[in-house]
Amino acid sequence: MSIADSAMVKVLAGLCLFSLIWPAAAEMTQISDDALSDVSGQGGIYLSGDISINELGGPVENSYFGRCDDVTKKCGARLAYRLKEAGGWMVLDELRGSFAFEGLTLGMRTIDTGFGGDGALFNGDVLELGLPNIVRFDDVRFKVAASTTPRPTDIGFQQTDIFTVEMQGDVIMEGNLLVFPAGNP
């Protein structure tokens, strides 16, 4: 047996021994109610993701929508929202591309001080979104538009494109976003 083979055997033996010892070190033990009452922790969710939207085209192909390589068709997702019951529609149209993020956190936070004294009056819980440090955009595109109908295939459809957004690269995001409930907590 060569010196290299001997060293490899020692490394493997050490890993085997460690694998036998590790479960003993990770054994769970009971904790009394009195000791548990002194324990505090934080709840929340930590999210990372890589999301792609309509890289080739959406699931609907008709006289308006189609594949992204067909220049005669619109390509991408469409999000329509109405601000007033009898008003027109604001639209994010032709939404496509991909973005990735790491470290978006979701949690609850109690606001009972600060905000120029308003926190003490509010005295309730809010949703806290911890923004990820970096969001990476890869060929993200969409149009912001005004529309008479939510769908371009609806009768009377007319749309006015307001502006187009194209994003490529990294965006640094810092801080938290607090979402307050509507009405009384």
For 117-147, what is each residue's pLDDT tens digit? 777 888 888 899 888 888 999 999 999 999 9
Alpha carbons 154 and 158: distance in angstroms, whole number = 9
The b/e string for 149-164 (b: 16+ C-beta within 10 A; e otherwise) is: bbebeeeeeebeeeee
Binning pLDDT at 50, 70 and 90, where does residue 160 land? very high
Residue-level pLDDT at 144: 95
Rounded to the nearest 10°, the torsion over CA 98, 102, 106, 110 is -130
Residue ranges covered by each domain of the chain: 40-179
